[in-house]
Structure 1
């Protein structure tokens, strides 16, 4: 499952995994985890070799249930830490480094090797799992994506405005779609869903319908 920031893919993926009894893989959290580690260790985020060395020495793992997924870096629970602005503002250095992405892809495929997994990110259908049984690309109008993100922030005393969130999403969209390595894009065989006017439950139900239809065709 792929899509831009605020399209709803993380929430949908978690709910879908829970409904199907599958594992949930949040690949974005993995890039955030390494970003947090690099910031903690004072690693130069523009030094590809240093970042690769750091990743080779770092253990990233998931714990907990799909609706309460926890991510650990070298045994430290960083679930909340990786959502800090300092990480959000610097994760693009990690995700834009080809050699780091190659290592991440290998790790993501290892996590998914047992099957029955819902993976979400930016390049799941195009790069990481090109032969996935079913692919979905979630999207939404930028105003709606910003509204969702602004609501999720839940920071009444914050100076961050709705306009700030829209600007941030515009920047992230440009970075994700124009980067040379694994840009955000819909694979030819992915099902496109515009979630602008859909609730999370409606999106999950629509995906389940597509999955059930695919199973019936196979049985036939």
Structure 2
């Protein structure tokens, strides 16, 4: 039977990097749910749909098909059959994904897709509501966080490494605004569920966080 690991946490906590490394260590599928929302945001941007217009988003996403494809262990995101993986990591798409993720129609559209992956494959899945909504019966749950300042520094560096201009103070403000939006939204808000293990990565490197998670999985089917 497939084994599922849920990792939730705020933006910039290192969820994707950690989840990817953990999945590789275990030989599991890695499911970046945030990439699905970014894929939808990419499709909406291509259509010129304002992210803040909920009614327009609800109507237009009916014609946008997002899926995950795995090639040689690498996850790709397809939007209407086109690989958009290389275009969804900009700050504009990230902000758009955060906005549309508040809408019930968007979350409902992606829910079954995420759950189907977990039904078919042992996987590590990261996002904002994996342990609480998407996979409430996950075999192991983690809540990965870090201080807003640490997360802002990480994201600033990430943008700069991609050749994008980024100002730390502006990124910090964006991180705090996104935290507030994610935690206060009416549908599937960001929260730590009772059975999730809390891990603060502020003073830990990738290997240390992965080792901590692996230690919690020892003795389980993982």
Q: What's the TM-score once normalised by structure 1's chain length?
A: 0.90
Quote the Cα distance in structure 1 between the aligned partners of 2:35 and 2:162. Answer: 25
Quote the Cα distance in structure 1 between the aligned partners of 2:160 and 2:206. Answer: 19
The answer for the alignment partner of 1:33 in structure 2 is 39
1:153 equivalent in alignment to 2:159: yes
Confirm or deny: 8 A CA contact 1:2 1:124 kept in the other structure: yes
Quote the Cα distance in structure 2 between the aligned partners of 1:83 and 1:159. Answer: 14
- Residues 156, 39 of structure 1: alpha-carbon distance in 2 compared, 3 angstrom cutoff: closer
| SS in structure 1 of the partner of residue 120 of structure 2 | coil
Deviation sequence 1:199-220 (CA, Å, 0-9, x none):
100111111110014459xxxx
- Residues 49, 110 of structure 1: alpha-carbon distance in 2 compared, 3 angstrom cutoff: farther
Q: Which moved more, 1:25-34 or 1:67-76?
A: 67-76
| SS in structure 2 of the partner of residue 192 of structure 1 | strand
Q: Indicate which of 144, 147, 156 corresponds to 1:138.
A: 144
Confirm or deny: 8 A CA contact 1:14 1:24 kept in the other structure: yes
The answer for the alignment partner of 1:170 in structure 2 is 176
Confirm or deny: 8 A CA contact 1:9 1:138 kept in the other structure: yes
Q: Indicate which of 2, 6, 15 corresponds to 2:8.
A: 2
The answer for the alignment partner of 2:4 in structure 1 is none
Quote the Cα distance in structure 2 between the aligned partners of 1:4 and 1:82. Answer: 18
Quote the Cα distance in structure 1 between the aligned partners of 2:162 and 2:138. Answer: 41
Number of aligned residue pairs: give it. Answer: 216
1:106 equivalent in alignment to 2:104: no
1:184 equivalent in alignment to 2:181: no
Quote the Cα distance in structure 2 between the aligned partners of 1:157 and 1:48. Answer: 32
Q: What's the TM-score once normalised by structure 2's chain length?
A: 0.89
Confirm or deny: 8 A CA contact 1:14 1:66 kept in the other structure: no
Quote the Cα distance in structure 1 between the aligned partners of 2:86 and 2:12. Answer: 18
Q: Indicate which of 128, 131, 145 corresponds to 1:125.
A: 131
Deviation sequence 1:138-173 (CA, Å, 0-9, x none):
011111111111111125975421111111101111
Quote the Cα distance in structure 2 between the aligned partners of 1:157 and 1:82. Answer: 15
Q: Which moved more, 1:153-162 or 1:200-209?
A: 153-162
Quote the Cα distance in structure 1 between the aligned partners of 2:164 and 2:92. Answer: 15
Deviation at 1:100, TM superposition (A): 1.6
Deviation at 1:51, TM superposition (A): 2.9
